[in-house]
Amino acid sequence: MARELCVFFPVLIFVAILHGQICAVTGEPQVPCYFIFGDSLVDGGNNNELKTAAKANYPPYGIDFPKGVTGRFTNGRTVADFIGQLLGFVDFIPPYATVTDKVISTGVNYASGSAGIREESGSHLGDRISLDRQLLNHEKTISRISSLQSNKTYTDEYLKKCIYLTNIGSNDYINNYLIPTTYPTSKIYTADQYAAVLVQQYSQQLKTMYNLGARKIAVFGLGQIGCTPAEIERFGTNGKPCVQWINEAVKLFNDRLKPLVEELNNVYSDAKLTFINLTSISAPQGDLPVPSVPCCKVKEDGQCVENSTPCLIRALSIFYDGFHPSEVANTVVAARSYIALTKMDASPYDISHLARL
């Protein structure tokens, strides 16, 4: 029997909380499988057993998540979780660290907090699964699915129908380029050169994803890192709402990533990639500036203090900790990447369109 799965989201944050609603009629999900690559913005628990400071498997993380603390770096669901629900998946896509053969064919979440496009990004925090290693893990997943389905033609066709989401690159700034005492990249490259080498490497990684069978790929651009409470605290804003030079550096990356997506669509005629513009999606609606105040009490590293009591009205916070959006902000991003509100949000396709192609 079909049932309705709804995701509620606030339309006008801080001006008035008018609730919008998107519903997906479930029964069968719209695509047979969904794979997630990325960093802490979409990590579902892969870092829990790693030796790293980049972990969120303690309260008050997960306070609004149905299963409580899971390692998600927010109070509730991530953008990847919401998109999964909008696609009609009833269960959350399991992390690679704990996925079983019973559910592996529905999809896997490879994302890892502090990981980057570059291997070394995040290394001062400890272990992490870089995008290159996430792709190696995906290869292992494909072998497992292949042997479960025991028909190579079938598996090849099956993998082409899945949605692949990739949201990575923030740590190549936050936990690399912006820490000159630990990482040399800002001495080697100008911001523009760095954006170019990052996108060049990402291009190779997206080609690997294609070679591993991906045909429907949603590539998330980077959010405005200069507007995160932690970077504002660290660098100051000179009276502006955000650290502008950081946003400018990140924009150089985004401005190269979108043309890369277009280029790959031309090179691979059987692939559909789409670029999700977080700047467009998270632009404040109305005239009020969005206060960058974390909901939880944060430590020096920007993460929530263990077992601290978070803010009460979490629907009013954009940020949960010093870096990560709250569940409410995640619902807005997911809703607008799934069904774009403006042409800028997702191009050339939003994810609902991508699923139907």
- Pick between residue 101 and residue 157 the one whose CB is nearest to ligand NAG: 157
258 binds ligand NAG (CB under 6 A): yes
The 3 state secondary structure assigned to 142-180 is HHHHHHHHCCHHHHHHHHHCCEEEEECCHHHHHHHHCCC
| 40 is annotated as an active-site residue | yes
Min dist. Cβ of residue 71 to ligand NAG (A): 30
CA 171 to centroid of chain Cα atoms: 12
Looking at 192, 248, 255, 263, which residue binds ligand NAG (CB under 6 A)?
A: 255
| 324 is annotated as an active-site residue | yes
Number of C-alpha atoms within 13 angstroms, CB side, residue 103? Answer: 16
> Tokens at residue 201, please?
């490497």
Q: Could you tell me if 315 and 10 are in contact, meaning their C-beta atoms sit under 8 angstroms apart? A: yes
| 39 is annotated as an active-site residue | no
State the Cα–Cα distance between residues 181 and 179, nearest whole angstrom: 6
State the Cα–Cα distance between residues 59 and 312, nearest whole angstrom: 14
Number of C-alpha atoms within 13 angstroms, CB side, residue 350? Answer: 19
One-character DSSP codes across 24-43: EEESS-SSS-EEEEESTTT-
254 binds ligand NAG (CB under 6 A): yes
196 binds ligand NAG (CB under 6 A): no
Of the residues 43, 81, 172, 324, only one is catalytic, namely 324
266 binds ligand NAG (CB under 6 A): no
What does DSSP say about strands 34-38 and 163-167: parallel, antiparallel, or unpaired? parallel
Applying CB under 6 A, what is the total number of residues that bind ligand NAG? Answer: 12
Q: Burial level of 167, CB count in 10 A (0-12/13-18/19+)? A: buried
Q: Could you tell me if 206 and 259 are in contact, meaning their C-beta atoms sit under 8 angstroms apart? A: no
154 binds ligand NAG (CB under 6 A): yes
Site for ligand NAG in 285-344 (CB under 6 A): 344
Looking at 16, 67, 102, 153, which residue binds ligand NAG (CB under 6 A)?
A: 153
Looking at 70, 277, 317, 330, which residue binds ligand NAG (CB under 6 A)?
A: 277
Min dist. Cβ of residue 78 to ligand NAG (A): 21
CA 267 to centroid of chain Cα atoms: 25
244 binds ligand NAG (CB under 6 A): no
Stretch that binds ligand NAG, among 47-55, 152-160, 172-180, 204-212 (CB under 6 A): 152-160
279 binds ligand NAG (CB under 6 A): yes
Closest-CA residue to 222 (of 175, 258, 194): 258
Min dist. Cβ of residue 318 to ligand NAG (A): 17
What does DSSP say about strands 272-276 and 346-347: parallel, antiparallel, or unpaired? antiparallel
280 binds ligand NAG (CB under 6 A): yes
Task: Cis check for the bond before 348: say yes or no (omega within 30 of 0).
Answer: yes
Min dist. Cβ of residue 282 to ligand NAG (A): 9
Stretch that binds ligand NAG, among 20-28, 62-70, 151-159, 265-273 (CB under 6 A): 151-159
147 binds ligand NAG (CB under 6 A): no
Min dist. Cβ of residue 263 to ligand NAG (A): 14
What are 275's strand-pairing partners?
219, 347
Min dist. Cβ of residue 243 to ligand NAG (A): 18
CA 309 to centroid of chain Cα atoms: 26
186 binds ligand NAG (CB under 6 A): no
- Pick between residue 152 and residue 187 the one whose CB is nearest to ligand NAG: 152
Of the residues 39, 40, 43, 170, only one is catalytic, namely 40
- Pick between residue 123 and residue 277 the one whose CB is nearest to ligand NAG: 277
Three-state DSSP class for residue 5: strand
Q: Could you tell me if 186 and 180 are in contact, meaning their C-beta atoms sit under 8 angstroms apart? A: yes
Min dist. Cβ of residue 178 to ligand NAG (A): 21
Of the residues 39, 43, 172, 321, only one is catalytic, namely 321
Binding residues (CB under 6 A) for ligand NAG: these are 151, 153-154, 157, 254-255, 258, 277, 279-280, 283, 344
